[in-house]
Amino acid sequence: MNRRIHPLAAVTGLIALLAPGLAAPGAAHAQPGSAPGRSARDCTPIRPESDFYAGGRVATVLLAVPDDPTCTTISVSHVVDVAVPTDRCQDFLVVFYPTDGSEPIATEPVTACSHGPRSQPVVLATDVPDGAWYRVLYEIDYLGQDVRFTVRH
């Protein structure tokens, strides 16, 4: 089931920090917890750096979807809490930046877990156009938590 992305109304302070006005999709969808299609594994993997903390979430640096017509999703995999390596689950969402200068929009949070090297990527958003600007955010369980993960886009 695809869900449309919704305004990130619950975290007004976070929106102010997310630099509205950058390029982003208008037609991306969230697909919480869905099994990725063939394209999710074929998408470009990156390990983004963290940029800031706000409202109980850590945001990655600003990312751009590469030009790749075979990949239309944003997904995460290889999730691990650095301090507690047995903790391999986290709640993630994606914040997109509309090209029209309107407020950023976010997907619904999705719980992503990694159960070893053969774990499938967990799709956070679908129908994402090439060149879309976004950040991946994760909810922290405790102050100072450092979660490592791979983004595929």
Which has the closest alpha carbon to 80: 143, 123, 153, 141?
A: 141
Predicted local distance difference test score (pLDDT) of residue 153: 92
Predicted local distance difference test score (pLDDT) of residue 41: 60
**pLDDT, averaged across the chain:** 79
Domain boundaries, the chain: 3-152
For the stretch 59-115, pLDDT in tens is 999 999 998 888 899 999 999 999 999 999 999 999 999 877 889 999 999 999 998
Predicted local distance difference test score (pLDDT) of residue 5: 42
Helix spans in the chain (H): 12-17, 38-42
Q: Which CATH architecture has domain 3-152?
A: Sandwich (2.60)
